[in-house]
Amino acid sequence: MKILIAPLLLISCSSNQSPIDAPINYKEVALGEADKKIDQAAVKRQPVSVKPVTRDSAPPSSSDYVLGPGDELTVNVNGEEFMQALRLSVDGSGFIQLPIVNRISVLGLNVAEIQENLVSAYSGEFINPWVVVSISRYRSRPIYMLGEFLSPGVIHMERPTNITQALGLAGGMTDKAYLEGARLLRQEKIVAVDVEALLNQGRFDQNVRLRAGDTLYVPSTEDLKIYVLGAVEDPGVQPYQKDIGVLAAIAVAGGAVDGEAKLNDTRIIRTYSPVKGELLTIDVTDFLRGRRPDFQLRPGDIVFIPNQPIANWNAVISQIAPTFQLVSNVLEPFVQIEFLK
């Protein structure tokens, strides 16, 4: 048997939503002293944050750049007419093709090291040869700009590039961009960088230098999701709807499982950015009885209804494990760092 949410209750509660980013404040509800105590029991907040990645103090010079496949070099040797301004591409194996000395490996070397190797290579052909090497095109350092960019696609770093520079190269973002959901992905993990704080709050310490293979992803407001997991009839992902509350989300998930769901110990994992969020403990029974307006959800929220009392966060993880892959992209990084220890 299911515990279903009464539609009339949802309608009566919809006009008294709490602010998303502030402590619960029921301005339109007259609370007596007894109700105020219940209010504290209904919603408990545990802020969570992690130390963000910050930008390096000084950008690297071109001498720090090591060559890879696709990069291009300009080489001048001894002022010889047929060896001036040679434009050479690094092949897939890390070699360049030069007159006289033929194939030379440059993979993983910087400009100074390549120049030294070429001087040595040409010493058998010229007396005290001089060689000048420069990088003409940086092509081995791709950045992938995915989602709501005006010009999404692949950008090849031609010089050290930070987040704001990459955003500019992608033409900026569309009016559908959900900036709070912006993520920097590196080696299949979310990096603890707050793109929204960088752009809207002037947190320039978040303007980190990008690495080859990084992906900047900005989702659309049309693709936002919430998750309802645990002791409900149909756990899983739901499209986010503006002003949806926890009762409505549970109803969409088929209702709570009768006799199993511990509604008074419901947890909400809330992500504000890759570096901050909250773990909320919600007493849903107060909302069901009409003693409190429905609690408003926000994009990316994970509602978890346990089927047994929760002693600690590890107990939540053990219960959520069967569907953990479903929400692992949302949980990273702050939940995994702070809670999954």
pLDDT of residue 199: 95
Q: Is 200 in the same domain as 293? A: no
The CATH code of the domain that includes 163 is: 3.10.560.10
pTM of the model as a whole: 0.70
Same domain for 256 and 333, yes or no, is: yes
Residue 59 lies in a domain: no
Please, what is the Cα angle at 17 between 294 and 262, to 5 degrees? 25
Single-letter amino acid, residue 148: E
Model confidence pLDDT, tens digit, residues 92-129:
999 999 999 999 999 999 999 999 999 999 998 899 99
**233 and 318 in one domain?**
yes
What are the pLDDT digits (tens) for 60-91? 554 578 899 999 999 999 878 889 899 999 99
Decide which of 137, 167, 191 is a domain's last residue.
137
Rg (CA), the chain: 28
Cis-peptide into 333, omega within 30 deg: yes
**Number of domains composing the chain:** 3
Same domain, 243 and 307: yes
Q: Are residues 71 and 102 in the same domain?
A: yes
- The rounded distance, in Å, linking the Cα atoms of 75 and 122 is 13
Task: Please state, in angstroms and rounded to a whole number, the distance separating the CA atoms of residues 292 and 295.
Answer: 8
Residue 57 lies in a domain: no
List the chain pLDDT tens, one digit each, 341 residues: 444 433 323 223 333 333 333 333 323 333 334 444 444 556 788 777 777 787 765 455 545 788 999 999 999 998 788 898 999 999 999 999 999 999 999 999 999 999 999 999 999 889 999 999 999 988 999 999 999 999 999 999 888 899 999 999 999 999 999 999 999 999 988 888 999 999 999 999 999 999 999 999 999 999 999 999 889 999 988 999 989 999 999 999 999 999 889 999 898 988 888 888 888 888 998 888 888 888 999 998 989 998 887 766 666 666 666 655 555 555 554 555 444 43
Do both 186 and 92 map to the same domain? no
Give the structural domain span for 180.
Answer: 142-221
The reply to whether 260 falls in a domain is: yes
- 36 and 123 assigned to the same domain: no
Q: Where a domain ends, among 103, 137, 171?
A: 137
